[in-house]
Amino acid sequence: MAAPQAGSATVPPIPAKAWSVLIVSTLAFTVCFMVWMMFGVIGIPLKKALDLNATQFGLLMATPVLTGSLVRVPLGIWTDRYGGRIVMTVLMACTVPAIWLMAYATQFWHFIVIGLFVGLAGGSFSVGTPYVARWFPKQRQGFAMGVYGAGNSGAAVNKFVAPVILVAFGWTMVPQVYAAIMLGTVVLFWIFSHSDPSHLVPSNVKFTDQLKALKDPRVLKYCQYYSIVFGGYVALSLWMVQYYVGEYGLDIRVAALLAACFSLPGGVLRAIGGWLSDKYGAHSVTWWVMWVSWICLFLLSYPQTEFTVLTVDGARSFTIGLNVYAFTALMFILGIAWAFGKASVFKYISDDYPKNIGAISGIVGLAGGLGGFILPIMFGALLDLTGIRSSAFMLLYGVVWVSLIWMYFTEVRRTELMGPHGAQGANPARA
């Protein structure tokens, strides 16, 4: 990694309100993410009850991710204009009825329609990110956004909580319990959060002005990075429980526990990724994240293989493939890498767009969320087409290749040719 960034020695004091906002916002995001990932567990009995194929199962799990992604841009802009406290409270409150109604769905289309409304919870990321960041000085914004982003661990909380409820009371109890938890979180958030009018964008800034960043090639690049470190994380968080059940024949509770070995570090360690990005720069962290991802996904892509070799002593058969322990270890490493990557991408944003964090984080979050929506459907389609479960990792391996190539030519190669100061002068993105 590069040397620590200069200018980080003196940090303004952080007010108590900032810590209160960070803690309660992280709690709210954790609950929202837990709800957003609900189908990752209850989808397994639903698949059997509704007799779904792999593609339909992927669509079922991905539906909430779609709306949670599409609303991110307007939510980020509204947060810039009206403040994170009011926007987050209204957003969470709107999801409570839909979560409760999920328990009464009986047909596939019921789950799809209700899932679209439940998915609004996923938009909370684009509210909390600018809301939290503006309470902290620039030198600590990466850390603050990383702590908030650790709410991704709601995916792991879902894997701990939902199977217990499901086995004890049936799947219908899960959305009812989650609705009660969400309602309680709304109350806690409103009590312990705060507002600061100085954090809002000026009223003369137009909606169209905030969207002009879509033309910036840097934003498109950050969207690509986030589509793998967040979109891939969401997709695998939804996909892994059934993968363990199908590939290794595990009980749903054991499968959920092992799947949490990916989801938990992928959420909790995001705060460390934010700290590393503050210290070493967004580019250095992201570059290493992509290479670690490339190695892990290459190994995960290899399917269980049996082959026969003719030797001088006759035919000999060999088996190549990852056992459940090696597979889980690689998933654990991948989860850590993507936790760091999610934080480093948003460090790019806070560095390059300090006055427009809400809109830019909404755009990049939209790209990541759409990745989380499209990828599970593609996982299912590839499984139906090839019959190879590891084809999901083959697809992600290709996406990482795109990110590495793009980063090399726009950041690494530019720095080699022009030097770090020249590259930064030509492109404000960190080199």
For the domain that residue 128 is a member of, what is the CATH number? 1.20.1250.20
Is residue 295 domain-resident? Answer: yes
Is residue 3 domain-resident? Answer: no
Phi and psi angles of residue 50, each rounded to the nearest 5 degrees, phi first: -95, -5
CA distances from 271 to 3, 76, 261, 278 (A): 20, 21, 17, 11
397 contact partners, CB below 8 Å, separation of at least 6: 294, 297, 298, 301
pLDDT reported for residue 416: 53
Reduce the DSSP state of residue 195 to 3 states and report it: coil
Q: What is the domain range of residue 90? A: 17-196+210-426
Is residue 267 domain-resident? Answer: yes
pLDDT reported for residue 2: 47
**Residue 347 contacts residue 282 (beta carbons within 8 Å):** yes
pLDDT reported for residue 48: 87
* Torsion (CA) 381, 386, 388, 394 in degrees, nearest 10: -70
Question: Rounded CA gap, 121 and 157, in Å?
Answer: 15
Burial of 112 (0-12, 13-18, 19+ CB in 10 A): middle
pLDDT reported for residue 116: 92
pLDDT reported for residue 206: 61
Is residue 9 domain-resident? Answer: no
Longest dimension (CA), the chain: 83
pLDDT reported for residue 111: 93
As averages over each run of 10 residues, the pLDDT of the chain (431 residues) reads 49 81 93 90 88 87 86 84 90 95 92 92 86 84 82 85 89 94 95 82 61 73 89 88 89 88 82 85 90 95 87 85 92 93 85 75 82 88 91 93 88 58 43 35
Number of domains in the chain: 1
pLDDT reported for residue 230: 86
Tell me whether strands 305-311 and 314-320 are parallel, antiparallel or unpaired.
Answer: antiparallel
Is residue 4 domain-resident? Answer: no
Q: What percent of the chain has pLDDT over 90?
A: 32
408 contact partners, CB below 8 Å, separation of at least 6: none
Question: Rounded CA gap, 372 and 229, in Å?
Answer: 10
Question: Rounded CA gap, 192 and 22, in Å?
Answer: 10
Q: Tokens 């403040």 — which residue?
A: 83
pTM score > 0.75 for this model?
no
Burial of 76 (0-12, 13-18, 19+ CB in 10 A): buried
pLDDT reported for residue 178: 95
Per-residue pLDDT tens digits for 88-106: 999 999 999 999 999 999 8
DSSP symbol at 310: E
**Residue 361 contacts residue 57 (beta carbons within 8 Å):** no
Question: Rounded CA gap, 404 and 228, in Å?
Answer: 11
pLDDT reported for residue 423: 44
Tell me how crowded residue 191 is: count the other CB atoms within 10 A of its CB: 9
11 contact partners, CB below 8 Å, separation of at least 6: 137, 139, 140
Say what angle helices 84-101 and 108-118 make with each other, to 10 degrees: 160
Q: Of 111, 113, 121, nearest to 65 (Cα)?
A: 121
Q: Tokens 């189908």 — which residue?
A: 39
The stretches of 353-390 forming alpha helices (DSSP H) are: 357-386
